[in-house]
Each structure stands twice: as C-alpha cells, then as structure tokens.
Structure 1
Amino acid sequence: MILAALLTSVGINLGLCFIFLTLYSILRKQPGNIAVYAPLLISEGKHQEGHHFNLESLLPTAGWVRRAWEPSEDEFLSTAGLDAFVFMRIFVFSLKVFTFGSIVGIFFLLPINYMGTQLRDNSDFQKKSLDAFSISNVNNGSNRLWIHFCAAYVFTGGVCILLYHEYAYISSKRIACFYSSKPEPHQFTILVRGIPVPLGSTCNDAVERFFLEYHPSTYLSHSVVRRSSKLQILTTDAERLYKRLTKLKHKDNTTSRHRRDGCFGLFGHKVDTLDHYEKTLGDIADNVRIEQSSMSLGGKEVPAAFVSFKSRFGAAIALNIQEGVNPTDWITEQAPEPHDVYWPFFSVTFIKRWISKLVAFVACNALTILFLIPVALVQGLTHLDQLETMFPSLRGILRLAVVSQVITGYLPIQILQVFLSFVPPIMIMLSSLQGHISWSQIQKSACSKVLWFTIWNIFFANVLSGSALYRLNYFLEPKEFPRVLAEAVPVQASFFIAYVVTFGWTNIASELFQLIPLAYNYINRTFIGDGDDDFEAPSIPYHSEIPRILFFGLLGVTYVILAPLILPFLLVYFCLGYIIYRNQLLNVYVPKYQTGGEFWPTVHNYTIFSLILMHIIVIGIFGLKKLPLASGLTLPLPIVTLLFNEYCQKRFFPIFRAYPAECLIKKDREDQNDPAMSEFYDKLTNAYNDPALMPIKYPGGFSSGRSPLLQRPEV
C-alpha cells in the first residue's frame, strides 16, 4: 500500500468519526432517544425528562466529554462496578504502553527505517510504499539494526514493569472491593454436582443428610436444582405479557389499544390488545400451573444443589476440599451470583453436555477454517495486480488513483468487518453449549474464543496468505517458524495500519452512536407506539469488546520494532476508546453481574503472548538481515519474559481464583456483630431457588383478578 492510499483511508474514517460524534451530540439531547443514550440512568431513576423541542438541541456540543471525564475513580467504580473499572484499565494500560512505545519507535526507529535503502523506493513522498517506513528498508548487516535490538529489550522491560504494577493495582482493588462489599449470597454458597442419591431416597434428602453430618457447624441450607426448561419459557412469556398489560391498563387513550395482530402492527386483523393480552396471559397461567404441578409431583430433580453456609470461610472449606471418597461424587465449585446463574445448563444430562462440548469444539474449528474465505477475498483486494489479472475489463477503472486508493486502503477492511461481526454471537452460542453455570462464565469462555479466532484468522491468516503461504511445509517446522514470520509479518504492516484506522476508529465512534438500538427505537416508537415497552437496559458485551482491544494491543506490540508507524494510529484509537467507553459505562450499560475483575488475568496472559510473538519475529528478522549475533542475543528475551509471567502467576493469579482465608475470616468477624445478618440468612435460604419456581413479582399496582400465577411447589 502506498502512503496516498493510507491517507485516503484516514480521511474517510476521520470523516465518519466526525459524523458519528456530531450526530451523537445532537441525538442524545432528543427526548425520544433517552432509552438509547441513557438507559442506565433510566433504570436507576436518575434521568429527568427532557424539555420540549428547541433550536439549541440541534446544535452539536461536546459537553458529554466533560461529563464522562469528571467522575473520579471511586465514583466510577461505585457506578459501573469492578468489571467495568478493569475494562477501562485496559485502555489506561494500553495508553501507557504505546505512549512509551511511540517514544522509542517514532523518535528512534522510524527515522532509521526511512533512511535505509534496502527497498530502493525512489518514488515521490505520496506514492512511497509504507514498507519504506518499516524495518524491511534497513540495509542487511547494517549496524543501525543494533538500535532495534536495544529497543526490543527496552520496550519489553517497560511493558513488564507496567504489567506488574497494573496487576498489583487491580489485585488491591479487588481486595478493597471485597472488604467494602455487603454480604452477598454467592460469597456464602457453593454448587455441588454429582450428588449420589441412594435408592429410595431423594436428592434433597441426600444433600441435607451429607452436609449435616460432615459440615454441622457451618451448614445453613440448600436448594436442589430441578429441570424446568419448559417452565422457564412459560414464565418469561408471562412476565413479558404482564408488563405490556400493566402499561395498557394505565393508558387513558383507549384508541391506542386497537392494533393489527400482524408484523409491526401493519397487517392482520384489528384486535383489542388489552383483551388479547389478558386471554393469552390466562392461557399461559394455566400452562404454568399444570407444569408446576407436574414438577411437584414427579420431582424432575437434577443431581446438583446450591449449598449455603453460615460463613464465607465455611463455604471456602467445603469448596476446596474433596468431599467424598469417590472424586467424581460431590464435585464442588464456586456459586455465581443468583441472577447470574444460567439455568438451562441444569436441564441437560451429563451425556448431552459432553456431546455439546464436542459439537462446540468442532464448530469453533470449522468456523475458523471457513473464515479463511473472506480473508483470502480481502487479501486479493489489497493487490491490484491480481484484480487486473482476474478482471481485465476493469483494468482502466482500477488504475484510476482514487479508485485504487479506496479499494486497497478502505474497502478490504470493511468487507472483513462485516464477516467478523457475526463471530461474537456465534461464540456466545457455542460457549452456552459447553455446560457453564453462569452468564459470566459463558462470556469469559466466549471472550477467549473470539480472541483466539481473531488472532489466528485476522493476524496469522492475513500474514500467511501472502508470500509465505507457499512455504507452508517450512512453517510447520519449528526451527523455521521465526524465519517465515520474519518474512511475512513486515510485508503486512500497511494492511494492519489500515485495519486500525478503518476497523478501529470507525467502530469505536459507531459504539457511541448506537446505530442499531437507535433504529430499533425509532421503529418501535413509530409503528408500535411504545418506545419503552419491554425496556431493558443493555449490558456491555465483554466477549466482543475485550478481544478487539487486546488484538489492537497485539498489533502494537508486534509492530513496535518492525513498523512503528502504526503506533500513532493506535494511540488515537485508545484515546477515543477511553473517553467513549467511559461515557457508555456511565450512561448506557448496566452491570448484569460482577466477577470481581476476573477478566484481567486474560489481559495479562495475552499481553505476554504478544511480547513472545514479537520476540520470535525479531529473532527471525535479525537472521534475515544478516545479523546473527543480534539474533542469538535476543534468545534470552522470551525466556526472561516467560519467567516474569510465571512469577506474576504465582504472585497475583491466586487472588483472582479465590479470596484468601485472611480476607474471608476478617469479613466474617465484621459480620458477627451486624444485626442485619439474621435477615440476610433468611434471604440466603431462598436466594438460589429457580426463578421459574418462584412467584412473579409484577411491577406496579395492577391486579389482574387472578391468583398469583406461580407458586413454589412443596419440596
């Protein structure tokens, strides 16, 4: 790619970012868009209705930037939670790393790369290839390469120091949040699976008998899990209908109650929605009662139970010791928050879960292979000579300067982005099949899947789809791995710079604009008439956002020595991301669960992976550049990095796996004199009852004239 094509891509994406930011600053002030741009404030009851239309609301302003910047660290933490705080620390950490990297790369390495003559690019500046700014342009055997060697050591040392301090800081925040937290059900509860049920007994009796015998001083209560998948669907439908029914009952305008029963209320017969909803709700209520009666009589127990204890330390003891002689019985794991439990997991048998895991593994690998098709398409667009060969009739058009610059600098990334947008939802679906017991575990599993998918398909597939692909047999030999990467990675520097500009900048600006929720809100208000019907504030999709940020981090770490020109574009991305996501987490996204910052070890591990990858490529580069001594002296660098990672795993990771006994006992002692604990224990007894078996608590004061739909069956 030539410099002019990159500048074209930068211009297009800067224009799109400006449009998104301008439209956001206008649309956020319109009263009808409150549910799109401030759902968190609505859910907390903090948002005041906007005033009537005035011309000032059509003027773009940047006041939202100041409001997003103002809250202190503690205020942000109390509003968004520790997981969101850790998410924002990824941006802070990345800004520190690449500010340091830019000082090394832009001021020292970039001039050396540009002054090289290896590529002999004599074209004018605008038509100059971006490879002229990479290490490929440095002459073979040049002593200037020793500056790159020193930069590799300096940058690695800087990143490791920043990683250590960040890990220590977030660990301290995790402990501080635990000390300041109120008693939570998941702190006192474990999940027990593989419960051996004696013949003629029930799972409920087996659990009570076992824990009264072996944990008599700490055992409090338990809740046996039942298969209730059908009942869950019915109760979800009942709750949704009751919300609509409540809203209709409180409306004064009776004409709005009549609508057509077809798509978006545009087709079908006209019906009175109040009567229609009441009849449908009555039918669902009858089905619920029948299903609950069947469950109370037939049992449908799952050999799993949530067991609660009188203290956090008692729960930790039961969690971390083998309960039975047979290690496959009485298997324990930490319980998630009650609202975080993924109940459909309990509705399948062990064999079905095992088959589902196998299917998910095969499907994930198949998706990875199939994604090579759009990657090959994208790589074809970056090489105009290949397009001219395939489509000779378009040769005249393709040789136009503007067309060639748009095709090579902008269009390939947009095509790749369209295909890539389908990956996170698919990975969530595959992770939900793997038997995880909570939504947070599903998102963490999907996060790793999306990240590895992105690394292998966006980085390695693009790198190896060029000149190195024909040397696949060498690539499979471990000793050839650095050389093949050293040949292929610098060549793709221009593609990844365009990737950061096109996929990074525009995507982060569109996150602020919220195009899809905005369109859905408009259709809802225009055709259905109830923009806030079934309103539910969204939660941030960590499984798609964290992999994207970490992948840009991998690009920066990988190319800081090879092509430091990418670093300024990355800094723009992380600056935009910091302020935009800070705004979103304060106004849009509602924390649906809290893992206590458990996403940070993933960030640490993939940063270490990025460093090791950079070391391998640098070793190969020095070999190709006829500087074998520098290549040999770089070998200790990945070894020292792995030793540093091992130390961090021993020093910090146990804090994220479980809270230490010191913390648990201190919190238990604080609670001993708290009079509210007796009330908490009463709530803890029923905290992990399946929501499908509990009475629905409808909002508002509407009375349907019926008895409660759901009654808890007697155990």
Structure 2
Amino acid sequence: MDTFLDPGKKNCSGDEYVGPGTKDTQVQLVISLALGVSAFLAFCTLRPRWKTLYAARKRYLNPAVGLPALPDSFFGWIPALYRVTEQQVLASAGLDAFVFLTFFRMSIKLFAFIFFFAVAVLEPINRHFIPVATPNNTDSSPESLLYNRLRVSGYSAPHRNAGHAFLPLNGSDPDDGPDNSFDYNMGYLWSYLVFTYLFTALTLYFMDTETFKVIRVRQDYLGTQSTITDRTFRLSGIPKNLRNEHKIKHLVERLEIGKVDNVTLCRHWKELDDLIDERQAILRKLEETWSVYLGQKPLRPAEGRPDGAGNGNAEGANGPSDVADEEAGETGRLLRGESSNHFVERERPQARFWYGFFRLQSRKTDAIDYYSEKLRRLDEKIHAARKKTYEPADLAFVTMDSIAACQMAIQALIDPHPGQLLTKPAPSPSDIVWRNTYAGRLSRRIRSWVVTIFVSILSIVWLIPVAFLASVLSICTIETVFPSLADSLKRNEITKALVQTGLPTAIVSLLNVAVPYLYEYLSYNQGMLSQGDIALSVISKNFFFTFFNIFLIFTVFGAVTSIFDVLRNSLRDTTYLAYSLARKIEDLSVFYTNFIMLQGLGLFPFRLLEFGSVALYPIYRMGAKTPRDYAEIVQPPIFSYGFYLPTALLIFILCLVYSTLPGGWLVVFLGLIYFVLGYFTYKYQLLYAMDQPQHATGGAWRLICHRIILGLVVFQLTMSGYLALRSALTVALLVVPLLIGTVWYSFAFKRQFEPLTRFIALRSIKRDEDEGGNAILDEDFGGTGEQQRELLRRSSTIDEDKEKGLRFVNPSLVIP
C-alpha cells in the first residue's frame, strides 16, 4: 500500500494487482451482459431442438414421477419451471437436489431483506456522513482515487513503525488512546454496529428456519421409504476372529436389536476386480475393431449379386424388398443380410502385439481373432476367480429386518474396545467404491492424510500462479517492463479497466472452474467408501480453495510476499488480522463486485447452455465408433455439487462481509441477482438436463451451515476491524460478544442439529400400523396447514426406484 501514497515509489504490491478503477464496473457489466445474453438466447434457441442434451434426464426419467414437461416456446419454459413445486423437486430429484436448491432459496430471501435495509437505511446514512471524494488533481489513477478516498474517510499516510497501514487523521493509532465512539461527527458508526447485529440475527434466523425444514423433510422422506440401504449398516474394525458371515450375524442378533437378514463380508477381491477391468478394456477394443470392420466399404459385391444391383429380385429398385429395407433401417438390413449369408469381403483389421524377451519382438495378427481369443481366455480366468475363496477384510455390510433395528445399531456403541466394531450408515449398493472396501483402515487413513496434506500444500502452491498472473496484468508491472504500453493503457480508461481488473477477474473465474477437476480426482483417490462421501469431500476441498486462495489471499495477505509479514504481525498483535481484513476489503470492493457480476450475469447462462458439453459433442461424435460410444455421448451429463456449491458459498460470504460497508448495497444487489439466476439455472439442470448418481441423503446441508457460520465470523471480524481503524474502539469491542455468541452457536449446531442430518430418528420411521405415515405435512412446503396432510409422492421414492433388485454384493462377482 506504500506505493498508493508515494507515487514515485515503484514497488508493485499485491493490492495494486486488482486495484479499483473508474471504468471497471461499467466495462465488466458490458462484458458480463454480452456473454450472458448471447448464451441465454442461444440456449432458448437450441433447447427445443437438442432435447437429447437439454432434456436428457427427463427422457430417461420414469413417467410415473410426474415431472411436468416444459413447453418448446422461446421463453415459455421459464414460468413452467417456476411453477415446479418443492414436492416435485423432492419426488423427482431426491434429497440432495432439494437441499441444494433450499440454500439458494434461503439466500434469495436473506439478501432481499439485507438489500432493503442497505438501500433504505445504511446508504442514506453513508451519503450524509461520508462525502464523495474529489481528487485535488486531474490524476484519475486508482492510486490517487484511493488516496483521496482515504483522506475523506479520515486517514493519513501510514506510520512507518505502526502495525497498521492507515492511521486516523485525528489520532496516531487506534491503540494509542483516543476513542471516537462518542464523537458526534462519528456517531454514524453506531449504525454499523446495529446492522452487524441485525444482519447476523437475520442470517441465523433464516438458517435455523431452513434447517428445521430440511430436517423435517429429510426425516419424513427417509422414514417413509423402505430400501435395502435404509435397513443396512456398515460394520468396520472387525477383529480377525469374527471375520465370518455367521459369526457376525450371531454377534449382531445377540445385541437383541432385531433379526439379521443378510451379511456381506468384504474380501480382498483385487485379483477379480483387476480381471473385470481388463475384460472391459478388451471388450471395448473388440467392439471398436468390429465397428471399423463393418464400417468399411466392401472389396467385392455380395455373393449371389454379381452385377452389384440386387439379389436376383425381379421387383427392381422400387420393389417391396427395398421398401422393407428402408422401413427397417440399417440394423434390419444388416441382420437380414447376415441371415441370408450375403456376406461381403472386407479388409480384416490388424493388431500388433509384443512378445519375447522384454517384449522386444512384435508381429501383426488379425485383430478380431486376437481380441476374441483374449476375451475368451479372460472369461475363463474370471469364472475360475469367482470360485476362489478370498481373505476377508475388516468391513461388512449388515442388512437388518427393519429400518428401526438398523438405526439402533448405527446410533449405538457396540464394542467396549476403541476402534472395534464401529457402525455407520451404509451407502447405496450402486454408490459403493468396492475397491476401497478391502483396503485396510490404516491404508485408507494414510491415503486420507496424504491427500489432505497435499491439498494444504497445493493451496499454498496456488498462490504463485495466482500472484504471478495478477502481477503480470498489473499496470504497475507493465509500466516497469513495457513503459510505452503502460502509458497507452493509462490514456484509455476502458483498456486499462480490462487489464487492471477485468482480466484478473476472468483468470480467477477460470481457475475456479479448472481446479475442482483436480480436487475431484484427489477425492476419488482418498480411499472413501462411497460416491456420496466423495461428493461431500469435493465440496469441502473446493470451498477451501475458493475461500483461501480467492478470498484470503486477495484480501488479508494481498500478495505472496505479504503472507509471512501478516502471520508474523498476527502473532504479535491478535487484532492485526481484523485490521488487515477491514483495510483490504474496501480496497477490493471493485474486484469482488466484478467477480460476482461475471459469475452471475456472465457465466450462469453458459452453465445453462452447457457450453462444455456442446463444444465437446462434435469431438466425441467424431471419435465414437461403437454403439456403446454413441449411447454414452447421449447420456445425461453428471451434476457435481462440489463444482458449483463452493463458489455460491464464497459469494454468500462476500455479500455478508460487504452488507454493512459503504457502497455494499451494490455487492448485495449483485449477490441477490446471482442467487436468483443460480436457482433457476440449477433447478432446470437438476430436474431436466443432468443426472446426480451420488446420493448423500442431504448431507451437504451441514456443510452449508458450517460455512455460513464461518462467513458470519469473517463478517464480524471485518466490522470490528473497520470500526477500530476509525478509532471507534468502544463500538468495535461491542462486536466481540456477537463474535463469541456466533462461535458458541456453531458448537450448539453441531451438537443438536448435525445428528439429525446423519441419522433417521426412530420416531420418524413409518410402521405398518401408522396411519398417514407416508406423507409429509403440508406446512413443510409453505402450505396453509388447512389440509390434514398432502400426499408427498407416489407409492415409491426415486431412491426406491433406483435400488429395486440391488444387493450388497461386489458387481465383479455377479455381472454377466
């Protein structure tokens, strides 16, 4: 920040990399609207034409679900989508989609209230007490504007020996004694304290209200369905003397909690799983080889057709056989030709295989015969491998005769020895990562810790490219390397705004899109037992990246070189972190405004358009050779909550942090637009376009709530530092009780609410004698409560449909 107050000093600090400019917001608005409107119009045009992509999930969904079809008109789908109720979302997309959309609905309601107070009360106060800065010279650079804005706000140049960058003009340091809390001219700062309390209370109120609703719906939803997953629990830490199905069954039944229907003891099936994987690879190669062979042009006409014009049929070109061929299509002609022995001669594809010492020799052979023989030998090995007895692992899936018995086993301590016979809810059979079931607990724990440490180190490593890219796009850096280019940029406000904040915002957004793919790969290799656990882990990792690298680094630390200075000063002065946070938040308001604007107005329509799928489809289409390839490219894309939820949580935190600050109404307004557009975008994708195979039974809600509480803590720290920097020490200290109360609430939430997001309460379980136990109260979905009960769904849930006929058995043992 020294450079801002000393223009002659060429020291490009991290703050200048994303420093505010006069045209930045206008330029970013034009760019975002241009991107968003063009993508939205393209989606409205292509949606009725490409139903295999934009209605992929609806095409595969069971018609009994009752999800309404959207009209094909240009904008007609919007009101129809709006009218889809929460009951229909729950019945057609499940708990995870319901919880995800609940977060967006809650955010819309919360920030609508906050926006009203920010505009109607706070903004008039700020306009009256904080005049707009007017620079004394014609320099409109960010440095001069920030310098004048700070002077108007009551700050002078920094004291070189102080721990704080800016000092009030009427006092040397906030810690030196003067307290402006009771100064009449600074009385407006008390309004910031009042609204800090009010906005915190509103956030906790809405979060509590939605939490009660999510818990009620989750308990009733899971309590009214009956799947094999609901009756099964996971038993880990099984001692070696109990690693037998009959012994485990006898042990559980001796607990007198219910009868055991089935026990699946996991074993070391690595040999069998490897054979199945190898078979899949060979099968794909054989399919591809056959497709290439059949797709070639014949070298000679078919037998019995010497003239190449027919098969001796006197009907001619327009005869009944040709008509039948046309109606039957390519598949019918192919089958009929084979049955009539009208084979054609084609060039047989060749495959090269290596053999001998160190596989240094090779030769070519007929590819179809080669892969067919390999497949036959693999089938023989698999049949033999399935008859083997494998060493048992320390994990088993125990299916009880009732949901209540399963829940009692899950919520109880079975064994007095630490780490033995631990019970947890079982994932769905289709959700299990079977290779991790026979990995030892120590192995899984080591892998988990290695990945966690690697992610932590990686978060530090990300600082280097982020700071490098930001510094390369800094006017200060460009002026050092290319002075003439910097001078031309300074003469044009628009190009300067693009370079100074537009491009860093775009780079951060692109990084925010690319990094989750890496974290998803790491989560899959962390040793977790289910796809649902992996999905929740991806959410946690990606949020850590967005919060640490995009928020903390750009605010508290500013640049890589400042990290150790901030940490060192924080250890000497516990208030330094709050001062740093408050000081930098104001400086980066334009950057975060542009970031939210680009994410909401610019990128949401592209997500609706599924630009990645559209761009990659021609590539996949050209590379598709087999029927399996063609079937895969028309499958619904996968919706990953870990890719989208962390960014939404970061924007939620940013809206909270800026809600009370001068000019924060604009951030809140853009955040409100972001959540409105996000709600409609994700509602469409979750219901109609994309599939969500992972099933975490709404477990993302507890992650959402803990991140909201973290945002409240950051918000309160920022406001305390902001008030302290203005020497309103009494007002700043009055934020501390609110901070303590929020931390206490986080522990209370974990103790009281979190168990109900993991387990099913025994009273929620529907029994045969319960009347009306298969419905959820109407008031849970905002009804009037006049009706006794409203039927939630049809006779079965979407989870029951998915699990029909499933068993807890390794697919490698039973697949054809």
Report the TM-score range of the alignment, normalised by the length of the smaller protein.
0.7 to 0.9
Distance 1:234 1:278, change over 3 A: farther
Q: Deviations over 1:417-471 (max 9, x none)?
A: 3333332122222223333211101111121111122111110001134386554
| Residue equivalent to 2:570 | 475
Rounded Cα–Cα distance in structure 2 between residues aligned with 1:598 and 1:516? 28
| Residue equivalent to 1:588 | 689
Q: Note the residue ranges of structure 1 that are not aligned, 5 or more in a row.
A: 48-55, 263-270, 697-715
Equivalent AA in structure 1 for residue 266 of structure 2: V
Counterpart selection for 1:358 from 449, 462, 467: 449
Distance 1:484 1:348, change over 3 A: same
Task: Trace 1:231-250 onto structure 2 (pairs within 5 A).
Answer: 231-232=272-273, 234-235=275-276, 241=283
Deviation of the 1:46 alpha carbon: 6.0
| Residue equivalent to 1:701 | none
Distance 1:528 1:64, change over 3 A: same
Q: Deviations over 1:584-622 (max 9, x none)?
A: 112112231433321111111111111111111111111
CA contact (8 A) 2:429 2:807 kept: yes
Rounded Cα–Cα distance in structure 2 between residues aligned with 1:25 and 1:528? 28
Give the 3-state SS of the residue equivalent to 1:561 in structure 2: coil
Equivalent AA in structure 2 for residue 192 of structure 1: L
Rounded Cα–Cα distance in structure 2 between residues aligned with 1:574 and 1:406? 26
Deviation of the 1:288 alpha carbon: 4.2
Equivalent AA in structure 1 for residue 401 of structure 2: K
Task: Trace 1:1-150 onto structure 2 (pairs within 5 A).
Answer: 1-30=20-49, 33-44=50-61, 61-114=74-127, 116-117=130-131, 120-121=134-135, 138-139=153-154, 141=180, 142-150=186-194
CA contact (8 A) 1:134 1:490 kept: no
| Residue equivalent to 2:463 | 372
Which stretch of structure 1 is more off in the superposition, 338-347 or 127-136? 127-136
Deviation of the 1:317 alpha carbon: 2.5
Distance 1:578 1:130, change over 3 A: farther
Deviation of the 1:496 alpha carbon: 0.9
Q: Deviations over 1:122-153 (max 9, x none)?
A: 68999899969999964465222222222212
Deviation of the 1:316 alpha carbon: 2.2
Q: Note the residue ranges of structure 2 that are not aligned, 5 or more in a row.
A: 1-19, 65-70, 155-167, 169-179, 181-185, 295-329, 335-343, 352-363, 775-794
Rounded Cα–Cα distance in structure 2 between residues aligned with 1:261 and 1:416? 48
| Residue equivalent to 1:525 | 621
Task: Trace 1:135-534 onto structure 2 (pairs within 5 A).
Answer: 138-139=153-154, 141=180, 142-181=186-225, 183-198=226-241, 203-215=244-256, 217-229=258-270, 231-232=272-273, 234-235=275-276, 241=283, 251-252=331-332, 280=371, 283-284=374-375, 286-380=377-471, 383-399=474-490, 400-466=492-558, 470-476=565-571, 477-526=573-622, 528=624, 532-534=630-632
Rounded Cα–Cα distance in structure 2 between residues aligned with 1:360 and 1:220? 37
Rounded Cα–Cα distance in structure 2 between residues aligned with 1:296 and 1:518? 46
Rounded Cα–Cα distance in structure 2 between residues aligned with 1:144 and 1:341? 57
Give the 3-state SS of the residue equivalent to 2:588 in structure 1: helix
Give the 3-state SS of the residue equivalent to 2:100 in structure 1: helix
Deviation of the 1:283 alpha carbon: 3.1
Give the 3-state SS of the residue equivalent to 1:538 in structure 2: coil
| Residue equivalent to 1:713 | none
Q: Deviations over 1:537-557 (max 9, x none)?
A: 233211121111101101111
Which stretch of structure 1 is more off in the superposition, 531-540 or 551-560? 531-540
| Residue equivalent to 1:557 | 656
Which stretch of structure 1 is more off in the superposition, 641-650 or 156-165? 641-650
| Residue equivalent to 2:810 | 690
CA contact (8 A) 1:443 1:542 kept: yes
CA contact (8 A) 1:378 1:416 kept: no
Distance 1:259 1:154, change over 3 A: farther
CA contact (8 A) 2:509 2:595 kept: no
CA RMSD of aligned residues (A): 3.8
Give the 3-state SS of the residue equivalent to 1:478 in structure 2: coil
Rounded Cα–Cα distance in structure 1 between residues aligned with 2:371 and 2:194? 73
Q: Deviations over 1:657-677 (max 9, x none)?
A: 21112123x437559x99x99
| Residue equivalent to 2:763 | 662
| Residue equivalent to 1:575 | 676
Rounded Cα–Cα distance in structure 1 between residues aligned with 2:518 and 2:211? 31
Give the 3-state SS of the residue equivalent to 2:637 in structure 1: coil
Distance 1:138 1:490, change over 3 A: same
CA contact (8 A) 1:410 1:502 kept: no
Give the 3-state SS of the residue equivalent to 2:526 in structure 1: coil
| Residue equivalent to 2:308 | none
What TM-score do the two structures reach when normalised by structure 2?
0.74
Distance 1:154 1:218, change over 3 A: same
Answer with 1 or 2: which has the greater Rg. 2
CA contact (8 A) 1:319 1:334 kept: yes
CA contact (8 A) 1:504 1:573 kept: yes
CA contact (8 A) 1:292 1:693 kept: no
The structure that is helix-richer by fraction is: 1
CA contact (8 A) 2:236 2:422 kept: yes
Rounded Cα–Cα distance in structure 2 between residues aligned with 1:594 and 1:402? 47
Rounded Cα–Cα distance in structure 1 between residues aligned with 2:371 and 2:270? 20
Equivalent AA in structure 1 for residue 722 of structure 2: I
Q: Deviations over 1:271-321 (max 9, x none)?
A: 9xxx96797466335324414523532414322211111112222232233
CA contact (8 A) 1:223 1:686 kept: no
| Aligned length in residues | 663
Equivalent AA in structure 2 for residue 656 of structure 1: T
Deviation of the 1:229 alpha carbon: 4.0
Distance 1:620 1:668, change over 3 A: farther
Rounded Cα–Cα distance in structure 2 between residues aligned with 1:97 and 1:365? 33
Which stretch of structure 1 is more off in the superposition, 460-469 or 536-545? 460-469
Give the 3-state SS of the residue equivalent to 2:697 in structure 1: coil
CA contact (8 A) 2:272 2:382 kept: yes
CA contact (8 A) 1:622 1:630 kept: yes
| Residue equivalent to 2:787 | none
What TM-score do the two structures reach when normalised by structure 1?
0.83
